[in-house]
Amino acid sequence: MKRSVGALMTGVMAVSLGACATTQDRRVADQWANPVDLGYSEATLVTSQPAEPQWAAPDPEMDRFIDNLMERMTIEEKIGQLTLLTSDLQSTGPTLREGYEADVRAGRVGSIFNAFTADYTTRLQRLAVEGTRLGIPLLFGYDVIHGHRTIFPISLGEAASWDIPAIERAARISATEAAAEGIHWTFSPMVDIARDPRWGRISEGAGEDVYLASQIARARVRGYQGDDLSATDTVLATAKHFVGYGAAQAGRDYHTVDISERTLRDTYLPPFKAAVDAGVATFMTAFNEFDGTPASGSRYLLTDVLRDRWGFDGFVVTDYTSINEMVAHGYSRDLSQAGEQALFAGVDMDMQGAVFMENLKQSVEAGRASREDIDRSVRRILEMKYRLGLFEDPYRYSDQARQEATLYRPDFLEAARDVARRSMVLLRNEGDVLPLAASAGRIALIGPLGDRKADMIGSWAAAGDRETRPVTILEGLQAREGVRVEHVAGASDAFDAEGSREGFAEALALANRSDIIIAAMGERWDMTGEAASRTSLDLPGNQQALLEELVATGKPVVLVLMSGRPNSITWASENVPAILHAWYPGTMGGLAVADVLFGDYNPSGHLPVTFPRNVGQVPIHYDMKNTGRPIELGEPGAKYVSRYLNTPNEPLYRFGYGLSYTDFAYSPPALSADGMGPGGSITATATITNAGEVAGEDVVQLYLRDLVGSVTRPVQELKGFQKIRLQPGESRTVSFTLRPEDLAFTRADMTHGWEPGEFRLWIAPSSGPDASVPVTFTLTE
Ligand code: BGC
């Protein structure tokens, strides 16, 4: 896999590269002077070596076919294969703009996104297959993020289930539905680590933790791609946005990213590496820069890391117009240069910007872009079309009968309900307000999110129906026999509703004539997702004020929170007896909420992200550093320690936290040995007992702390987890085996590996040094 600096420089010399020939080349040179393993080491019982994905197997027949095809392609046709354009999605259905249709006919476009349904994709495909000189089929991409038609909980919600088989199943169903509507390729999974709840796209990922996110990345890739890309119920997956997008400064979307190389390697790269190991077929570049180079122009990221280090064989697409944006970044002086830089960096396909389409030929003629680079990318894309079986039958994914038989299948809807239940996190349950008794009496469902269909499916539910299909919380409650429920919105989640008391009187009247209040509050669905950053994490509008008045009635209150980010619900955490986080739970969400409220399903979700007390604590995540002045060093209230004057350091809810309707008791962990050395392993066990009265599931989590390192190490790191189900009174001994490689990190000299020393280990139901009694072991040289 290794190439010499010389070989790389030859490529550099062949074209005039402007900014490429400076920082990046130095970086490339440094890389080779100091080769490091950027690989991610797993820490579970099973540590499989990444196998070559099925689709990457050598195929001489395919090579001959593509050689032959490429020999006949003009430069314009080749550049067409590097071009991805959107169709126009309109409320009445998708239609293609005139201009794009002409582009397809002229062979100037190789792939289309935002086009689906068997009919529509067949019509477009015909334009390419019958209307162009070479008849190369189009590839259809789409944002199938947390479901296609049947919508599952938002990705962050799914992550809260910590239920890897359930997450894989959701992706499998999404792929089956999407592929039945002619889609070949999903722009998912989004594997960006996100630690800033101000950033709206935190809702799209798997949360703050490297280990959990890596497990989920693998599961989603497996779910989408299955084990046969040519099957008509699988789609190509995309690991996005490569890389560092979640580190946008101040949580503002598209903002500058400034992270160290070490943080890149230890925090942001691993989930992408996990996706490569799982055989992901495509990568999408990020909008942001890394160390001054926009990701779409970074040869370091797209070639040195992704290709040369990780051996990625699929193709790389940019994010939406992100080549063009290199001009606004101040990295390219014009679009021509941006295109040249992107191609050289390793971009294969230009999403929506038409920069390659409009400039690349001239760049080649002027000697500023190389034909070899174009051929390289064309080949990668044609290979993927070939492996999907499109050259054999370009229409094989667009099948009206399959579409009708597949969308919203009852078993898919049932799965969506099940995953939704698994994703919900019980944050508080004082006095066992929950579960509600079947004879709960008169229920007042109050709040703007009680009966709004559009909100149930959250953002990035692109083909999701927001108007008719989603089951609201009101409908979910009404569907239960014997439930007496009335609903009023009472408050508003619109930002400008703050200060207004409109609706309060009606809500309080309802509250006063009811036996229990369910407050359905949170954020409107489009307050998270892309371009939806906030500077406050409070409940928007006048919801908080109404919530306080509802509690003041003295009736029991259950807050069902719907949102795509951690909110600072500090007041509620002290004053509202029961809080259930439901995220945006999907098409079947209302039924799933009712299942949990009434105890048909015992909540088992745990937070995949830390909940701060207020926005001022951000950034806050469980695996922070100890600092030289940790708060525990001082007496309570001591001044010169790392703390705030007005807020505790402790978050509102820790990463990994989640309650159940039963109680789980954890034994202290036991170790198979006092230590281990190279080639060895150590097994940690703990016995978990269901000490309560109902069956339930818990997420058993293994955390480590490397006490001293050649660079400072986090106070805790998740290294394994298992979700177990126990009957009342039942105990189970859970075991985790660790090897030295599982303790690897980027050391002071930038090599990746472990270091001898002492480690602290916890097996606990959440993060936090006091969540269970730790034990210590030694790693010897
Ligand atoms: C988003 C991507 C998405 C793309 C195509 C962009 O704005 O950042 O995540 O896949 O649009 O819809």
Q: Angle at CA 634, nearest 5°, toward 628 and 636?
A: 140
Ligand 1 atom 10: residue of nearest CA? 187
Greatest CA separation found in the chain? 80
List all residues 6 or more positions away from 102 whose beta carbon is below 8 Å from its beta carbon: none
- Give the Å distance between the CA of 729 and the centre of ligand 1: 48
The CA-to-CA distance between both ends of the chain, in Å, stands at 29
CA 630 to centroid of chain Cα atoms: 32
Is the bond preceding residue 243 a cis peptide, omega within 30 degrees? yes
Packed helices 371-387 and 355-365: angle between N→C axes, nearest 10 degrees? 140
Q: Please, are residues 571 and 544 in contact by the beta-carbon 8 Å criterion?
A: yes
Q: Which residues are catalytic, by number?
A: 319
Q: Which of 319, 350, 351 to mutate to test the pocket of ligand 1 (most atoms within 8 A of CB)?
A: 319
Single out the residue of 366, 378, 298 nearest to residue 336, CA to CA: 366
Note the pLDDT of residue 45.
Answer: 28
- Give the Å distance between the CA of 621 and the centre of ligand 1: 26
- Give the Å distance between the CA of 319 and the centre of ligand 1: 6
- Give the Å distance between the CA of 320 and the centre of ligand 1: 6
CA pair distance 707, 687, nearest whole angstrom? 25
SS3 761: strand
CA pair distance 310, 517, nearest whole angstrom? 53
Pair of tokens at residue 358: 């409009």
Note the pLDDT of residue 101.
Answer: 83
For residue 287, give the ligand 1 atom closest to its CA.
Answer: 8
Residue type at position 781: E
Q: Please, are residues 675 and 778 in contact by the beta-carbon 8 Å criterion?
A: yes
Distances (CA, A) of 385 to 48, 56, 229, 706: 29, 13, 10, 46
Sheet holding 350-351, edge to edge: 185-186, 139-142, 111-113, 83-86, 350-351
Note the pLDDT of residue 99.
Answer: 78
The H-assigned helical ranges of 397-497 are: 400-406, 410-423, 453-456, 473-478
CA pair distance 292, 300, nearest whole angstrom? 12
CA pair distance 265, 40, nearest whole angstrom? 9
How many other CB atoms are there within 10 angstroms of residue 538's CB atom?
Answer: 16
* Residue 240 near ligand 1, beta carbon < 6 Å: yes
* Residue 89 near ligand 1, beta carbon < 6 Å: no
CA pair distance 658, 606, nearest whole angstrom? 4
List all residues 6 or more positions away from 433 whose beta carbon is below 8 Å from its beta carbon: 516, 556, 558, 577, 578
CA pair distance 337, 346, nearest whole angstrom? 14
Note the pLDDT of residue 15.
Answer: 28
CA 620 to centroid of chain Cα atoms: 19
For residue 187, give the ligand 1 atom closest to its CA.
Answer: 10
* Residue 143 near ligand 1, beta carbon < 6 Å: yes
* Residue 140 near ligand 1, beta carbon < 6 Å: no
Pair of tokens at residue 513: 């004539």
How many other CB atoms are there within 10 angstroms of residue 437's CB atom?
Answer: 9
Is the bond preceding residue 35 a cis peptide, omega within 30 degrees? no
Single out the residue of 180, 112, 103 nearest to residue 140, CA to CA: 112
Note the pLDDT of residue 628.
Answer: 96
| Residue whose pair of structure tokens reads 């400008």 in the numeric block | 496
Packed helices 335-345 and 371-387: angle between N→C axes, nearest 10 degrees? 60
* Residue 320 near ligand 1, beta carbon < 6 Å: yes
Note the pLDDT of residue 97.
Answer: 65
Ligand 1 atom 11: residue of nearest CA? 320
- Give the Å distance between the CA of 686 and the centre of ligand 1: 43
Note the pLDDT of residue 292.
Answer: 98
Please state whether beta strands 578-581 and 425-429 pair in parallel, antiparallel, or not at all (unpaired). Answer: antiparallel
* Residue 493 near ligand 1, beta carbon < 6 Å: no
Note the pLDDT of residue 634.
Answer: 82
CA pair distance 111, 79, nearest whole angstrom? 11
> For residue 136, what is the enclosing H or E element?
none
Q: Which of 187, 321, 350 to mutate to test the pocket of ligand 1 (most atoms within 8 A of CB)?
A: 187
How many other CB atoms are there within 10 angstroms of residue 354's CB atom?
Answer: 20
Single out the residue of 454, 461, 468, 463 nearest to residue 403, CA to CA: 463
SS3 298: coil
CA pair distance 323, 175, nearest whole angstrom? 28
Note the pLDDT of residue 715.
Answer: 98
Distances (CA, A) of 330 to 19, 261, 270, 333, 338: 11, 22, 29, 7, 10
Give the residues of the chain that fall short of pLDDT 70: 1-51, 89-98
CA pair distance 461, 530, nearest whole angstrom? 12
The secondary structure of residue 39, as a DSSP letter, is: P
- Give the Å distance between the CA of 566 and the centre of ligand 1: 23
How many other CB atoms are there within 10 angstroms of residue 304's CB atom?
Answer: 22
- Give the Å distance between the CA of 89 and the centre of ligand 1: 14
How many other CB atoms are there within 10 angstroms of residue 730's CB atom?
Answer: 12
Ligand 1 atom 6: residue of nearest CA? 320
SS3 282: strand
Note the pLDDT of residue 263.
Answer: 98
Q: Which of 88, 89, 142, 143 to mutate to test the pocket of ligand 1 (most atoms within 8 A of CB)?
A: 143
Sheet holding 282-285, edge to edge: 238-242, 282-285, 315-317
Note the pLDDT of residue 90.
Answer: 59
Q: Which residues of 19-28 are buried (b: 16+ CB within 10 A; e: fewer)?
A: bbeeebbebb
Ligand 1 atom 8: residue of nearest CA? 319
* Residue 395 near ligand 1, beta carbon < 6 Å: no
SS3 329: helix
How many other CB atoms are there within 10 angstroms of residue 707's CB atom?
Answer: 12
Please state whether beta strands 696-706 and 717-726 pair in parallel, antiparallel, or not at all (unpaired). Answer: antiparallel
Distances (CA, A) of 453 to 267, 294, 578, 584: 36, 39, 24, 11
* Residue 530 near ligand 1, beta carbon < 6 Å: yes
> For residue 514, what is the enclosing H or E element?
none
